[in-house]
């Protein structure tokens, strides 16, 4: 099944991708994976300064930009403005992460776009929002992790803030912008009109703090680092087995009783300091040491065999390679293959969304394009003559 076949929900939706870095492309990837026709508009060399992913044919680039086509156009030229105007005639969604002054200069504000095409949806992503005192600041994942408070609750107590090991604010903002685009498309079905959808890294991460944020906004409590222990539920954390590490969650009264029974930890279930949830939370440090004494008597496999059937969640701590080789992950088939003309067959991560009426295609329609790989093809689809395309290329307006 090809990505462009009508079985995919976004077939027929035309998306113009003007984004750089990671958050915007992550939002567009959601659309391209589910059948949208995505044109990635990039500046021609040498104005193309590369990508946040590093190598243009590297694994990160391929995973971020699969299922898209690329056209290199200098939007600052009259020819570029003409091409952009033609593109916008049939575009459903424009995704961008320009500063506001750049949007205005290129005619990409929502007011300008909707005057041309009332059905268009403008989707914008930024570091700190579209207005306010920080709106013109550059914002990247590392900075936002620190500013939203995430780093302050990550890591071991007393050892200082720790960065989460992935670009969590970029990918979260991209995910929320993708959801916003889908909401706007649904709204357009009812009203016939587009709208401006926007989010930012800081808004997305403040929302992502979830119950940790609510502890402050509702209770006035500022959460702190707890290491691998759950901030509020006890016991829940990482414990040593005889051959590795496992995570165990035994926070409810029933789970706690089943945990003690499954590991024959009778000294714990009868202990006055651990009788109920409040006492277990109050004596967490001592309880963790006592639990460790019991878990270290078993292998990881033995702990999982004893605890999971008893209704006590337990799982090993794996590295990324081990995670992808895990039997359940292999069963879920979290990768799909894309054929690259130079790199060959690439295993890339599929969308985690599963739809019964639109199963995942067996392959991605295309690998990530080189910059401008489909410039001539796309300009031809827009109705520009080959002679004109050649002239524009000679002038450097396209590449």
pLDDT digits (tens, 9 = 90+) for 271-303: 999 999 999 999 999 999 999 999 999 999 999
| Shared-domain flag, residues 259 and 154 | no
Residues 6 or more apart whose Cβ sits within 8 Å of residue 209? 148, 149, 150, 153
Could you tell me if residue 223 is inside a domain? Answer: no
Could you tell me if residue 229 is inside a domain? Answer: no
Could you tell me if residue 230 is inside a domain? Answer: no
> Last residue of some domain: 271, 290, 317?
317
For residue 302, the domain's CATH number is: 3.30.1540.10
> Last residue of some domain: 290, 317, 344?
317
| Shared-domain flag, residues 174 and 285 | no
| Shared-domain flag, residues 189 and 263 | no
| Shared-domain flag, residues 248 and 169 | no
Could you tell me if residue 227 is inside a domain? Answer: no
Q: What is the pLDDT of residue 49?
A: 52
Pairing state between β 335-340 and 344-349: antiparallel
Could you tell me if residue 221 is inside a domain? Answer: no
Q: What is the pLDDT of residue 150?
A: 98
Print pLDDT tens along the chain (399 aa): 344 454 899 999 999 999 999 999 999 999 999 999 999 999 998 755 555 555 678 999 999 999 999 999 999 999 999 999 999 999 999 999 999 999 999 999 999 999 999 999 999 999 999 999 999 999 999 999 999 999 999 999 999 999 999 999 999 999 999 999 999 999 999 999 999 999 999 999 999 999 999 999 999 999 999 999 999 999 999 999 999 999 999 999 999 999 999 999 999 998 999 999 999 999 999 999 999 999 999 999 999 999 999 999 999 999 999 999 999 999 999 999 999 999 999 999 999 999 999 999 999 999 999 999 999 999 999 999 999 999 999 999 999
| Shared-domain flag, residues 41 and 109 | yes
For residue 18, the domain's CATH number is: 3.40.50.10540
| Shared-domain flag, residues 256 and 385 | no
Provide the CB-side half-sphere exposure for 378 (13 A, CA). Answer: 26
- C-alpha triplet 292, 297, 301: angle, nearest 5°: 100
Could you tell me if residue 213 is inside a domain? Answer: no
| Shared-domain flag, residues 112 and 251 | no
| Shared-domain flag, residues 92 and 146 | yes
Could you tell me if residue 323 is inside a domain? Answer: no
| Shared-domain flag, residues 115 and 146 | yes
* Residue 369, phi then psi, degrees to nearest 5: -80, 155
pLDDT digits (tens, 9 = 90+) for 106-146: 999 999 999 999 999 999 999 999 999 999 999 999 999 99
Is position 170 annotated as part of the catalytic site? yes
| Shared-domain flag, residues 157 and 47 | yes
Output the six-digit token pair for 101.
Answer: 């002054």
> Last residue of some domain: 317, 349, 368?
317
| Shared-domain flag, residues 182 and 50 | yes
* Residue 130, phi then psi, degrees to nearest 5: -85, -10
> Which one, of 2, 84, 68, 49, lies nearest residue 370 by Cα?
68
Catalytic residue among 33, 141, 170, 219: 170
Contacts of residues 292-299 at CB distance under 8 Å and 24 or more positions apart, as own/partner, are 292/239, 292/240, 294/263, 294/265, 294/268, 295/239, 295/240, 295/241, 295/246, 295/248, 295/263, 296/239, 296/240, 296/241, 296/242, 297/242, 298/241, 298/242, 298/263, 299/241, 299/242, 299/243, 299/244
Could you tell me if residue 57 is inside a domain? Answer: yes
Q: 299 is in which domain, residue-wise?
A: 236-317
| Shared-domain flag, residues 297 and 346 | no
Q: What is the pLDDT of residue 327?
A: 98
Q: How many domains is the chain built from?
A: 2
């Amino acid at each position: 099944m090809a990505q462009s076949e009508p079985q995919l929900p976004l077939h027929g939706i035309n998306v113009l991708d003007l984004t750089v870095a990671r958050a915007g492309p992550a939002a567009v990837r959601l659309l391209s994976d589910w059948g949208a026709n995505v044109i990635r508009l990039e500046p021609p060399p040498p104005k193309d300064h590369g990508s946040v992913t590093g190598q243009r044919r590297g694994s990160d680039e391929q995973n971020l930009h699969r299922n898209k086509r690329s056209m290199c156009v200098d939007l600052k030229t009259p020819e570029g403005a003409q091409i952009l105007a033609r593109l916008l005639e049939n575009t459903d969604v424009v995704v961008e992460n320009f500063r506001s002054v750049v949007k205005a200069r290129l005619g990409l504000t929502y007011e300008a776009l909707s005057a041309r095409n009332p059905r268009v949806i403008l989707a914008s992503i930024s570091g700190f929002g579209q207005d306010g005192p920080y709106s013109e600041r550059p914002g990247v994942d590392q900075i936002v992790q620190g500013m939203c408070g995430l780093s302050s609750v990550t890591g071991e107590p007393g050892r200082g803030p720790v960065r989460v090991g992935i670009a969590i604010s970029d990918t979260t903002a991209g995910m929320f912008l993708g959801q916003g685009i889908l909401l706007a498309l649904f709204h357009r079905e009812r009203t016939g009109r587009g709208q401006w959808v926007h989010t930012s890294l800081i808004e997305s991460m403040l929302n992502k703090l979830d119950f940790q944020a609510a502890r402050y906004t509702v209770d006035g409590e500022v959460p702190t680092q707890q290491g691998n222990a759950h901030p509020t539920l006890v016991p829940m954390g990482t414990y040593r087995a005889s051959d590795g590490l496992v995570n165990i969650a035994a926070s409810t009264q029933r789970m706690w009783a089943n945990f003690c029974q499954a590991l024959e930890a009778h000294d714990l279930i009868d202990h006055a300091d651990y009788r109920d949830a409040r006492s277990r939370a109050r004596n967490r440090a001592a309880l963790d040491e006592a639990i460790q004494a019991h878990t270290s008597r078993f292998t990881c496999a033995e702990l999982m065999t004893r605890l999971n059937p008893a209704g006590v969640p337990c799982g090993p701590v794996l590295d990324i390679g081990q995670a992808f080789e895990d039997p359940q992950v292999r069963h879920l088939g979290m990768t799909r293959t894309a054929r690259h003309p130079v790199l060959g067959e690439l295993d890339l991560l599929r969308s985690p969304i599963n739809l019964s009426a639109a199963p995942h295609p067996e392959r991605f329609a295309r690998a990530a394009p080189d910059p401008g790989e489909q410039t001539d093809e796309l300009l031809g689809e827009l109705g520009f003559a080959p002679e004109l395309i050649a002239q524009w290329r000679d002038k450097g307006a396209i590449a």
